[in-house]
């Protein structure tokens, strides 16, 4: 029961993007199309689950003073693996994501989970926590990229959603649109939470 809670808390209650406002770079940068967002979600989930697993296994061997450096090296190793894999098997996607795959190293969601959770909990709980957080990140990115791609190009994952009458709202796929959509989503998220609490 307790493990289930660790798993689902990342979906809504402690959603890394909407509640904790972490990992903003990829959330804003790669959500101009659903395809890019899916690639980013996959890469982040792989790195997060992998490094949570390793960190929770070695947590008793790592001296407290060098723990951050250790976490960073573990994370950087997994990011290198994800980066090489994408470059080898999905060159187009790798090109579209550009520097944002290597930048997963400094994504605060990942380091944050190692510091706050994986370094203090067992392997099973840490992996479940990482999976839940990845799903929360995934939910946020899918929402963002769906809104931006449908409004900005009239398509979803490359399929036409809005008819030819629709004039694409260009700003949505430009940087400014990313800030607007995320701002409004966070507003909506807080409002829903407040309505349920009150």
Interface ranges with other proteins (CB under 8 A): 21-22, 24-25, 28-29, 69, 72-73, 76-77, 79-80, 83-84, 98-99, 102-103, 105-108, 111, 171, 174-180, 182-184, 186-187, 190-191, 194
Q: Please state, in angstroms and rounded to a whole number, the distance separating the CA atoms of residues 144 and 15.
A: 14
Q: Please state, in angstroms and rounded to a whole number, the distance separating the CA atoms of residues 138 and 17.
A: 9
Q: Please state, in angstroms and rounded to a whole number, the distance separating the CA atoms of residues 107 and 181.
A: 20
Q: Please state, in angstroms and rounded to a whole number, the distance separating the CA atoms of residues 32 and 30.
A: 6
Query: Which residue, 58 or 103, has its beta carbon nearer to other proteins?
Result: 103
Query: Which residue, 112 or 154, has its beta carbon nearer to other proteins?
Result: 112
Q: Which of 179, 161, 177, 159 minimizes the C-alpha distance to 169? A: 177
Q: Please state, in angstroms and rounded to a whole number, the distance separating the CA atoms of residues 176 and 42.
A: 25
Tell me the closest approach of the beta carbon of residue 165 to other proteins, in angstroms.
26
Query: Which residue, 3 or 21, has its beta carbon nearer to other proteins?
Result: 21
Tell me the closest approach of the beta carbon of residue 101 to other proteins, in angstroms.
9
Query: Which residue, 80 or 131, has its beta carbon nearer to other proteins?
Result: 80
């Amino acid at each position: 029961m307790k493990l289930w809670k660790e798993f689902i808390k990342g979906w809504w209650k402690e959603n890394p993007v909407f509640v904790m406002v972490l990992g903003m770079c990829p959330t804003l940068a790669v959500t101009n199309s659903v395809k890019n967002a899916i690639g980013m979600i996959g890469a982040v989930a792989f790195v997060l689950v992998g490094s949570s697993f390793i960190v929770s296994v070695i947590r008793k061997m790592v001296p407290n003073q060098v723990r951050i450096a250790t976490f960073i090296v573990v994370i950087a190793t997994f990011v290198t693996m994800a980066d090489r894999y994408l470059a080898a098997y999905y060159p187009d996607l790798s090109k579209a994501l550009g520097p944002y795959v290597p930048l997963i190293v400094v994504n605060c969601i990942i380091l944050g989970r190692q510091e706050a959770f994986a370094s203090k909990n067992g392997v099973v709980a840490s992996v479940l926590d990482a999976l839940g957080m990845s799903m929360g990140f995934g939910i946020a990115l899918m929402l963002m990229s769906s809104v931006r791609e449908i409004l900005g190009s009239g398509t979803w994952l490359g399929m036409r959603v809005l008819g030819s009458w629709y004039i694409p709202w260009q700003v949505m796929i430009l940087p400014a649109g990313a800030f607007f959509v995320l701002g409004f989503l966070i507003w909506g998220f807080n409002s829903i939470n407040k309505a349920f609490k009150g």
